[in-house]
Amino acid sequence: MPRIVAYTYNAGIHCPACAAAAHEKGRFRDAPGLPPGTDEHGLPYAAADSEGNLVHPVFSTDEPPVEGWYCETCDAVIAKPDPEHAMHMAMDAPDPIAAMFRLIDTGVVDERDVGNFVAMYADGVWTNPNDGLCEGLAYIAFHGGRALVASWDNQGFWNVEEMTTEEAEAEIATREAESEGEEEDRC
């Protein structure tokens, strides 16, 4: 059975908790001619917003857009955006590195997603010649000498961090030197 995941009112989308809070504070009125009763979040079926428009439920079966849905009251993720799309949008943010970490923190993407993204658009990349692509480090350089760095090991562990571009370049040089003469170790 479809669940109510959000509501639209005041020309925006809002999470159930914020809609319930708005109802508690008396922000909605009753639209005339609608049956009494409340839904699963305690909102009256007849709730209307300040402009008199009905508060519409959004169901778990409704298809979100690629940019996802965020509550316009509290900014909670209602529907995750498409990860690929979200990462491209983050690159256009005023602070792309912070935006990318925010995507990880809010569970929109994981470090592996970001790692693959960084490897694909890398300004510098090192992969261990002894084990193919199983171990590596890549970075994207941003203005101000900042770099978004993703590294992965042959256990499938990914790490995303911020370094200076200089540090990222040095890290690659160190790993290049270390991997020379290493045993072949295919993962």
How far apart CA 81 and CA 102 sit, in angstroms, is 13
What string marks each residue from 6 to 25 as x (binds Zn ion by CB under 5 A) or -? ---------x--x-------
Binding to Zn ion by residue 127, rule CB under 5 A? no
Q: How would you classify the pairing of strands 47-48 and 4-9?
A: unpaired
Minimum distance from CB of 21 to Zn ion (Å)?
Answer: 8
What string marks each residue from 70 to 109 as x (binds Zn ion by CB under 5 A) or -? -x-xx-x---------------------------------
Q: Name the residue nearer to Zn ion (CB basis): 73 or 127.
A: 73
Residue (of 161, 15, 152, 141) closest to 78 by Cα position: 15
How far apart CA 14 and CA 6 sit, in angstroms, is 6
* Element of type H or E holding 159: strand 158-164
Q: Name the residue nearer to Zn ion (CB basis): 13 or 90.
A: 13
Q: Name the residue nearer to Zn ion (CB basis): 73 or 154.
A: 73
Query: Which long-range CB contacts under 8 A does 137-141 form with residues at least 24 apart?
Result: 137/168, 137/171, 137/172, 137/175, 139/163, 139/165, 139/168, 139/172, 141/165, 141/168
Q: Name the residue nearer to Zn ion (CB basis): 10 or 73.
A: 73
Query: Footprint of Zn ion on residues 35-64 (CB under 5 A)?
Result: none
Q: In the complex, which residues of this chain contact Zn ion (CB under 5 A)?
A: 15, 18, 71, 73-74, 76
